Structure formats: C-alpha cells, structure tokens
Amino acid sequence: IQSMSVGIFDMSGRLLSRQEVSGSGPTLSWKGLSADGKKLAKGVYLAVVTIQGVNGEVLRKVHKFVVR
C-alpha cells in the first residue's frame, strides 16, 4: 500500500472527518469524532475507504455503520 484515506460522511453526504496516511503498512485509527472534535451523534454514517497500491491501482469501498 502506498497510501490510504478514510472519509466519514453523514447520510446526506456531508464530510465529517477525513484521515490520510502514506508509506508502507499504513495504519489509521479513528476515535468517533468529527473534524471539529465533536462526538458523532447516534445515527447511520458512511465510511469511504480509499487505498492506493504501489502500482498506482486504486481501490475504494463504502461501508455503512451505526453509532449507538
């Protein structure tokens, strides 16, 4: 993996948080906070994970999750 990013969106498509890392073996951790440091409200959200391989190939997956 060359780089990885994760964007957290509400169900209306508004970007709430985004993290990016690069280098070999990148690791991300997210504490359930929006970009302004506020805890996410209960509800359904989308996580968009984008991974770029060293060969330039890009893989993007969307995951739905619930905050309770």
pLDDT of residue 35: 93
**What would the mean pLDDT of 28-41 be, rounded to a whole number?**
93
The pTM is what? 0.88
pLDDT of residue 44: 98
Pairwise CA distance, residues 37 & 52, whole Å: 27
Query: Using one digit for the tens of pLDDT, what is the confidence trace for 37-67?
Result: 999 999 999 999 999 998 999 999 999 999 9
